[in-house]
Amino acid sequence: MTPLMNSTTATPLIDTSGNSSFPNTTGNWTPQVRYLVYDRTPIIISVSLVSVVAVVSNLTLLLVILCRRELRATVFLWNVAGMCVCNLLFGTVTNALGDSRHFYQEWIHGVFLCKVFSVLNLTDKHIMSMIQITIVISLFLKVRLSLSPPSDMSSRIWTILPYILFSLPWLGEIALIPMVILGETDDVPYSTKRYSSMFCYHIMEKQYRQAGLILFNALFFILLILSVAVFLYYRFKKASYDRLLADDAMRQDETLRSMLIASLASSGLFCLLFAPFILLMLTLLFCQSFQCFPNFTTFDAVYVVGSFGYAVTPLPWFAYSDIKCVCAELVTKLKEKAGSSLTVCGGCCRRRLDSITVEWSQKQSDVLKHEK
């Protein structure tokens, strides 16, 4: 939460109240910045710990998918791997870059890095929304096709559709990046720049900035509606779905249930943890007065809650049966390797102890003989 401005044009004042109040910025008035004496160490420590958990959870899931050929060959799981890459690249990097500045001072990385930060901080939520939407749509089609066998035409369409769905979020990301990088800062009001170290994507031109926020909110609500729709579809089709799983010939499709549960749980966590961010962005987009702006404690709370989204969205996928089996195999192999290593180490230690005991016994008998 640091202003995007030249520090030479600001006269810092001390304000420990935690409130923000500014006079009208008309004419050539030079804004007076009230530096807030506020210890953000607990916030930074919290976000850093959450980032460590995010790296571990996302990297583990990504490696599990990549290390097994049958998982790597499933186009549907490419979206899950893309979610992990998005969390690792955009989530953790954005948190690290956003916290590497002093609280409530100017952005210390320069305008270009601010624009890079803008790309990461804005588009990560867009691409995460689109990836979650892609997963939910793919899963809905998978359930629908399982309950009613496709015709030849729909079968050919289904062969191509997963690749199209996988590419759409990343094509959207490529389309959004130039809008942010090429955006100008002249139209950005000073009141917005005050919050730009945390929400630095406000450097976009006004039409792109508003369009970006509206797009993100639209994607968020589309994801929410689709998740509820798929859940209701599954709930009302549960009887026929259970009959499908009861058929021995279709026993191999039991993984579809765990896939559905993992997908809905992941998208539900995403919606739940980023809902405060949605409300905050709507406030910043439509608020025309300083009185309705949230305080710094609210910003930090939303920041921490949003950081949890990067860490926990991969966790439901460890309950997906195929990934769960692979993880169980890896854990078993690690246990066997650790057990064999301990056995070898125990044997070496036992032999070493026996040799020391024999050597000590010989020395003791020599001492006794010498005393006699």
User: Which of the pair, 248 or 355, is modelled with greater confidence?
Assistant: 355
Question: Which residues span the domain enclosing 300?
Answer: 7-17+31-319
**Has residue 371 been placed in a domain?**
no
Percent share of the chain, pLDDT over 70:
50
Q: How confident is the model at residue 147 (pLDDT cuts 50, 70, 90)?
A: low
pLDDT band at 242, cuts 50/70/90? low
Q: Name 36's bridge partners.
A: 15
| Contact present, 163 and 74 (Cβ < 8 Å) | no
Long-range contacts of 158-166 (CB under 8 A, 24+ apart): 162/75, 162/76, 162/138, 163/75, 165/79, 165/134, 165/137, 165/138, 166/75, 166/78, 166/79, 166/82, 166/134
Examine residue 290 and state whether it is found in any structural domain, yes or no: yes
| 59's tokens | 């990297």
Instruction: Indicate the pLDDT class of residue 329, thresholds 50, 70 and 90.
Output: confident
Residue 356 lies in a domain: no
3-state SS assignment for residue 14 = strand
Chain centre to alpha carbon of residue 351: 50
CB contact at 8 A, 126 and 219: yes
Nearest alpha-carbon partner for 108 in 234, 259, 2: 2
Question: Does residue 365 form part of some domain?
Answer: no
Distance CA 54, CA 67 (A): 20
311: β partners = none
Asked whether the beta carbons of 365 and 358 are under 8 A apart, the reply is no
H helix runs in the chain, sequence order:
41-67, 69-72, 75-86, 93-99, 110-147, 152-181, 190-193, 206-236, 238-246, 255-286, 296-312, 321-371
Distance CA 347, CA 173 (A): 57
Residue-averaged pLDDT of the chain: 68
Q: 203: buried, middle or exposed (CB in 10 Å: 19+, 13-18, 0-12)? A: buried
Q: How do residues 95-128 score in pLDDT, each as one tens digit?
A: 666 655 444 444 555 556 666 666 666 667 777 7
Q: Is 109 a member of any domain?
A: yes
* Overall residue count recorded for the chain in this entry: 372
Give the type of residue at 37. V
**What does the pLDDT read at residue 7?**
34
Please answer whether residues 49 and 28 qualify as being in contact, where contact means their C-beta atoms are separated by less than 8 angstroms: no
Q: What's the confidence (pLDDT) of residue 109?
A: 54
User: Structural domain tally of the chain?
Assistant: 1
Q: Which residue has the tokens 């949605």?
A: 278
Task: Please report which confidence band the pLDDT of residue 141 belongs to, taking 50, 70 and 90 as the band edges.
Answer: confident
Any idea what the CATH number is for the domain that residue 213 is in?
1.20.1070.10
> Region 60-86: what's the mean pLDDT?
86
Query: Is 183 within a domain?
Result: yes
Mean pLDDT of 26-44: 54
* Pair 212, 122: CB distance under 8 Å: yes
**Region 205-214: what's the mean pLDDT?**
57
Residue 325 lies in a domain: no
User: Quick one: CA dihedral 82, 97, 118, 39, positive or negative?
Assistant: positive
Q: Tell whether the torsion through CA atoms of 100, 192, 114 and 107 is positive or negative.
A: negative
Per the confidence metrics, is the pTM higher than 0.75?
Answer: no
Two tokens, residue 76:
């549907």
Report how far residue 233's alpha carbon sits from residue 236's, in angstroms, rounded to the nearest whole number: 5
Question: Distance between CA atoms of 302 and 209, rounded to whole angstroms?
Answer: 20
| Dihedral in degrees, nearest 10, Cα atoms 177, 201, 2, 4 | 80
Whether residue 363 lies inside any domain: the answer is no
Q: What is the average per-residue pLDDT within 81-94?
A: 81
